[in-house]
Amino acid sequence: MLNKQELLEKDSKYLWHQISPHNENPMIVVSGEGSWITTIDGERFFDGMSGLWCVNIGHGREEIAEVAKEQIKTIAYASLVQSHVPAIELAAKINEWLEGNYRIFYSNSGSDANEVAFKIARQYHHQNGEPTRHKFISRHRAYHGNSMGALAATGQAHRKIKYEPLTPGFLHVPPPYCYRCPFGKEKGSCQLECAQIYDEVMNWEGAETVAGVILEPVITGGGVIVPPPEYLQEVRKICDKYGVLMIVDEVICGFGRSGAKFGHFNFSVKPDIVTMAKGITSAYSPLSATAVRAEIYQAFKQPEADAHFRHINTFGGNPVSCAIALKNIEILEKENLVGQAAKMGKLLEEKLARLTVHPHVGDIRVFGFLAGIELVEDKESKEPVSTDIMLKVLSECQKQGLLAGKNSDTVPGFNNIITLSPPFVTSEKEIDFIVDTLDQALECLA
Ligand code: PLP
């Protein structure tokens, strides 16, 4: 029998929570099934964010538990200095899903996968006769991880305060944010200035110093910021013009969240490097991967002693995690969950549209099965609502049984976007529940 009081005491004495300020009364989650989680008090909540944008196949999958048990019994650990069956099979499967010819390097988290991408890009240019290429360009509002390089790539000032200096060589351009166009343009009547800025920055910096561009297909944690349809292709063209590698961060968008197998499929571009985590195992076990175009991999096969990628981690490609990833992908395929995510996303978009009547709803953006609802003081000024108002709406949702999210801290005052990223197994009835709950929560602001 779980003793809540005892657990809370230990929690408050020993546990260091992530992000949230010291929280004396956290929700203690004990179980989950489908799109719902249950707390120690027996309360059930709809997991509107799939944990942290990751439990895509839903909670409580017996098949995953079975495969984990079998793999642990067979062999729980082998490193990838050697090789093992689940890592080989998964690398082949990821290639099939990517519909390209990629080499797969495994790590443990999205941050790791991006660090690996940066190191590979720099080393590739070195070994490809262009050793001056070391800079990376990312976007303001984007999140790429917590480690010194991935955080340097992140374009959210608030996350960096007190940790700087971070890894040098990271530059940022404005995001393709049509609702608040950084170039003062109207949606649909621009020259894609948000993409052309890469060309300018590469020129100003000296393209021969730029190693890569990193971007998510859709900025997720920064507020579900959907680019114009031609944006990624335009960035691809500029990368090609200057010999810069295009790194696409699919940590959230990958494995169906965008309504396609990978987010970049929606924009018909071929990246040089694709990073992935979260949905690769639906978070049943930690795993990430950096997929690198086979031509780039060739530069690491030169005979010099230090030409190989001199990067190692103990847990990357752990057999249990790889076996879980394979089962996760099998479930996505068998249950057509990518198609289901696209279908449910469309339905969510249609139903959310009714929220536009609320005076505080400035913009609703849905892409695949991701949604961002931007709250403003009034539609005219587009002044973001205060953090207090955001917290009030989220807490009203929670009271009704819905866990919704908010955009990560970007710059002070811009914590104003409700986010949703439900499990792909969400039903039509549950979509109604999400929208009705949000509707009522927004009423409380009237
Ligand atoms: N990239 C993106 C787009 C993310 O959203 C995240 C995490 O939320 C990361 C990278 C970092 O992943 P992790 O938290 O697994 O290190």
Domain boundaries, the chain: 4-57+336-443, 63-334
> Is-above-0.95 flag for pTM?
yes
63-334 matches 4-57+336-443 in CATH topology: no
342-382 per-position pLDDT tens digit: 999 999 999 999 999 999 999 999 999 999 999 999 999 99
Q: Would you place residue 24 in the very low, low, confident or very high pLDDT band (cuts 50, 70, 90)?
A: confident
Q: Which residue's CA is the nearest one to ligand 1's atom 14?
A: 110
Pocket test for ligand 1, best of 151, 252, 274 (most atoms within 8 A of CB): 252
* pLDDT tens string 413-446: 789 999 999 999 999 999 999 999 999 999 988 7
**In CATH, what is the architecture of 4-57+336-443?**
Alpha-Beta Complex (3.90)
pLDDT higher than 90, residue 270: yes
Cβ atoms within 10 Å of 381's Cβ, excluding its own: 9
Ligand 1 binding pocket mutation candidate from 19, 136, 144, 262 (most atoms within 8 A of CB): 144
Query: What is 63-334's CATH topology?
Result: Aspartate Aminotransferase; domain 2 (3.40.640)
Q: Where are the alpha helices (DSSP H) in 77-128?
A: 85-98, 110-127
Smallest CA separation from ligand 1 atom 2, residue = 144
Is the confidence at residue 129, as pLDDT, over 80? yes
Inter-axis angle of helices 428-443 and 337-352, nearest 10: 30
Q: What is the mean pLDDT of residues 158-179?
A: 96
Ligand 1 centroid from CA 145, angstroms: 5
The ligand 1 atom at the shortest distance from the C-alpha of residue 142 is 3
pLDDT bin (cut points 50, 70, 90) of residue 410 is low
**Ligand 1: which of 251, 252, 257 to mutate, most ligand atoms within 8 Å of CB?**
251
- Beta bridge partner(s), residue 373: 364, 418
Exposed / middle / buried, residue 96 (Cβ in 10 Å: 0-12, 13-18, 19+): exposed
**Average pLDDT of the chain, as a whole number:** 96
Expressed in angstroms and rounded, the spacing between residue 341 Cα and the centre of ligand 1 is 20
Q: At what angle do helices 62-74 and 319-334 cross, to 10 degrees?
A: 150
Q: Would you say residue 305 has pLDDT above 90?
A: no
The yes-or-no verdict on residue 104 having pLDDT over 90 is: yes
Residue (of 185, 159, 190) closest to 172 by Cα position: 159
Q: Tell me which residue has its CA closest to atom 7 in ligand 1.
A: 145
Instruction: Please say if the pLDDT value at position 162 is more than 90.
Output: yes
Give me the helix-helix angle, 319-334 and 337-352, nearest 10°.
70
Q: What ranges in 128-259 are assigned the alpha helix state H?
A: 148-153, 157-160, 193-205, 231-242
pLDDT for position 257: 98
Q: Which residues line ligand 1 (CB under 6 A)?
A: 52, 109-111, 114, 143-146, 216, 220-221, 249, 251-252, 277
pLDDT reported for residue 408: 80
Q: What percent of the chain has pLDDT over 90?
A: 93
Query: Residue 7: what pLDDT?
Result: 96
Asked whether residue 338 carries a pLDDT value surpassing 90, the answer given is yes
pLDDT at 196 over 70: yes
